[in-house]
């Protein structure tokens, strides 16, 4: 049976990607950002997930503004980098996992979350920058990645609570997939930032740090943050943080915090990052119980 072993959140600032692509990571400004991900890369190299599910948002680069799905699941075999205005980033093509992705689509849609199924899709910095931050710059990404794009570019985005509940539905989907896969969920975007208008450059470290604390201790409190509060406290683009809650919803209620990092700024954005693991023992026991319950239910239903 597949299971979610860990969740990773990180900002996805496009300028971080540009710093990598233009070999500027050693400059003091960027070194401060990248040095915060050294431990994360070591953790990832040790964790070696079989699959990553990457929750990110498209920035009107692959989808344009003609069609804006609220939740779009990448079911294709591969996802080339999108042209974001200066050519596609020179990063490897993201290879998907069509079998697990179509299983997730089936399970989650029948669970009453209406995903858009994407059989052809390009991915922008929202996904590829966090991949760089966690995997470095290999010639191919070390594992398949299933992208799940969330609309945070045009009002109304999904609520924080809806995102958290989607995470739970994804977990149910993963745990009903028969192959033994170790899955890591990424939640990308944030933290506080606003890139245009009179409040451009807004950063609210107090809000961000409380958000990081509650990602560990009290995610339910975060599900109550309204769109207006995100906008007021974390700037117009702070709403990207709802994507962290998809990841958090897929995790156990109680998690181990493996690592966190926060620095200000990268471009216009506060960079926040956290790695959470499901508790190994409790997770395993809970897992077995859930699997037994499912088996009993299926037997009762004659499946
Ligand atoms: C910036 C950050 C983002 O998350 C984004 O999508 C675009 C720009 C920035 O800080 O410049
Ligand atoms: Fe963004």
Domain segments of the chain as ranges: 3-300
- Give the pLDDT score at 10: 98
Which entry of 59, 97, 103, 193 is annotated as an active-site residue? 193
Residue 199 neighbours by CB under 8 Å, 6+ apart: 235, 236
Looking at residues 26-38, what average pLDDT do you find?
98
Quick one: CA dihedral 39, 96, 80, 147, positive or negative?
negative
Confidence band, pLDDT 50/70/90 cuts, at residue 162: very high
Residue 279 and residue 271 in contact, taking contact as beta carbons nearer than 8 Å: no
Q: Compute, in angstroms, the gap from residue 277 CA to the centroid of ligand 2.
A: 25
Q: What is the pLDDT of residues 204-225, one digit of tens each?
A: 999 999 999 999 999 999 999 9
From CA 180, how far away is CA 159, in angstroms rounded?
32
Closest CA to 84 of 142, 34, 21: 21
Task: Look up 287 and say whether it is catalytic.
Answer: no
| CB environment 39-71: b (16+ within 10 A), e (fewer) | ebeebbeebebbbbbbbbbbbebbbeeeebbbb
Question: Can you tell me the mean pLDDT for 125-133?
Answer: 98
For 3-300, CATH gives 3.40.830.10
Report how far residue 13's alpha carbon sits from residue 17's, in angstroms, rounded to the nearest whole number: 7
Q: State the Cα–Cα distance between residues 34 and 22, nearest whole angstrom.
A: 14
pLDDT of residue 64: 87
Mean pLDDT score, 135-143: 98
Write out pLDDT tens, residues 247-294.
999 999 999 999 999 999 999 999 999 999 998 754 455 556 665 565
Residue nearest to atom 4 of ligand 1 (CA): 13
Residue among 18, 268, 273 whose CB has most ligand 1 atoms within 8 A, to mutate: 268
Say what the pLDDT of residue 266 is.
Answer: 98
State how far the alpha carbon of 175 is from the alpha carbons of 2, 8, 28, 285, in Å.
5, 19, 43, 13
Q: Which residues contact 44 (CB under 8 A, 6 or more apart)?
A: 8, 134, 135
pLDDT (tens digit, 9 = 90+) per residue, 43-95?
999 999 999 999 999 999 999 899 999 999 999 999 999 999 999 999 999 99
């Amino acid at each position: 049976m597949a299971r979610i072993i860990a969740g990773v959140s990180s900002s996805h600032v496009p300028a971080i990607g540009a710093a990598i692509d233009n070999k500027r990571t050693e400059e003091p400004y960027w070194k401060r950002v990248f040095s915060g991900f050294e431990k994360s890369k070591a953790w990832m190299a040790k964790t070696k997930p079989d699959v990553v599910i990457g929750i990110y948002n498209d920035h009107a680069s692959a989808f344009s503004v003609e069609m804006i799905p609220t939740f779009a699941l990448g079911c294709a075999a591969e996802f080339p980098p999108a042209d974001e205005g200066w050519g596609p980033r020179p990063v490897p093509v993201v290879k998907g996992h069509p079998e697990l992705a179509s299983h997730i689509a089936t399970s989650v849609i029948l669970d009453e979350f209406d995903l858009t199924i994407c059989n052809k899709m390009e991915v922008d910095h929202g996904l590829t920058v966090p991949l760089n931050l966690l995997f470095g710059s290999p010639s191919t990404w070390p594992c398949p990645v299933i992208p799940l794009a969330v609309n945070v570019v045009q009002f109304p985005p999904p609520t924080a609570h809806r995102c958290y509940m989607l995470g739970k539905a994804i977990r149910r989907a993963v745990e009903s997939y028969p192959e033994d896969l170790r899955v890591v969920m990424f939640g990308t975007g944030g933290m506080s930032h606003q890139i245009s208008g009179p409040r451009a450059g807004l950063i609210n470290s107090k809000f961000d740090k409380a958000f990081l604390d509650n990602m560990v201790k009290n995610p339910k409190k975060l599900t109550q943050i309204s769109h207006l509060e995100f906008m007021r406290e974390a700037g117009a683009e702070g709403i990207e943080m709802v994507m962290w809650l998809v990841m958090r919803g897929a995790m156990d209620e109680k998690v181990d915090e493996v690592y966190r990092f926060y620095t200000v700024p990268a471009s216009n954005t506060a960079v926040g990052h956290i790695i959470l693991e499901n508790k190994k023992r409790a997770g395993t026991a809970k897992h077995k119980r859930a699997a037994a319950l499912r088996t009993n239910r299926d037997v009762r239903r004659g499946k």
